[in-house]
Homo-oligomer: A and B are copies of this chain.
Amino acid sequence: MSLPTQPTTPSVILTGDRPTGPLHLGHFVGSLRNRVAYQHDYQQFIMLADAQALTDNMDDTGKVHRNVVEVALDYLAVGIDPSKSTILIQSQIPELAELTFYYLNIVTVARLERNPTVKEEIRLRGFERDIPAGFLTYPASQAADITAFKAALVPVGEDQIPMIEQTNEIVRRFNRVADRDILVECKALVPEIGRLPGIDGKAKMSKSLGNTINLGATADEIRAAVKKVYTDPLHLRVQDPGHIEGNVAFTYLDAFDLDQAGLAEMKAHYQRGGLGDSIVKARLEACLQELLAPIRARREELAKDRGYIMQILKEGTLKAREVAARTADEVKAALGLSYF
């Protein structure tokens, strides 16, 4: 009879958000819901990427500051447990900037320019020739964030996979320079349910597109948003057959309705005709009110004690900083930058 094997150290996950606005249902489906699940089985670091958020918010630095607390409230409200997940503020860990600095020596300008995510973001933000240097070098900063915590898994959308590849290139290159495996390669953890469309039917729910339902939305805001949800533009009369594909009301129901059998019946009815959008939307509204009411209540409760939120952020940041500082020390020692 053999002894049971020792439990292995849980894998490290690095995830986070740019704190530029309140989180919404898109974040809930794409990441928050998963984080609540992951925190039981993984060592999860959740980063409030405030320093990163400045790359295109230097004209409104107050926005980033305010949203650090707002996003932290969203985290706690959806069930991220600070005793299981480590929530940290990026700017309060100078070692992340240090690692970025060193990684910039092992990535070429040409390679950064070829990064498809960087290319696309440059296009989206309309930077053209006047790209802030911090934007071009963003992959080195992301590599610093991931490797500082020796994360093995990084939850990202499909579009972010090139960033993960670039991080791993930096890891391999650095480990070759160091002549030992100091940094850890990571894997993208792409969620099964991808991106949630906006209420207007656009591919992405996004604050800048104004098509979101925020996690802290009031009952009235939810009601008003559901009224605007994009359905089937060809479904003009109740008795006509309706389309499910591209019908955001049904996409949301797929994501949130706990009674999937009842939903299947409703879809069939809608498709053969005789079911008005208002009935579908009433079901959707009920779902969303039920989902968001407890989140909103927790959020409001938590918001009353800002000191408690700051305490959580401080403790998480201190804990994370210890880990990052250890990595930075290893990195610097491997580069011969260790003296005292």
Contact = CB atoms under 8 A, between A and B. Distances in A.
A9 to B, nearest CB: 27
Given A101-B101, A134-B101, A310 B108 contact: no
Contacts of A64: 335-337
A102 interface: yes
A51 interface: yes
Interface stretch (A21-29, A76-84, A125-133, A222-230): A125-133
A132 B68 CA distance: 33
Copies in the complex: 2
A54 B107 contact: no
Interface residues of A, number: 53
B106 A68 contact: no
A245 to B, nearest CB: 42
Contacts of A129: 108-110
A101 B51 contact: yes
Contact of A134 (B61, B68, B105, B332): B105
Nearest to A174: B58
Contacts of A101: 51, 97, 100-101, 134, 141
A175 B88 CA distance: 28
A92 interface: yes
Contact of A55 (B61, B89, B105, B141): B105
Given A97-B97, A109-B133, A130-B108, A313 B336 contact: no
Interface in A25-59: 50-51, 54-55, 58-59
A183 to B, nearest CB: 15
Interface in A106-159: 106-110, 112, 129-137, 140-141
B58 A106 contact: yes
A247 interface: no
A65 interface: yes
A33 to B, nearest CB: 27
Contacts of A94: 94-95, 97-98, 328
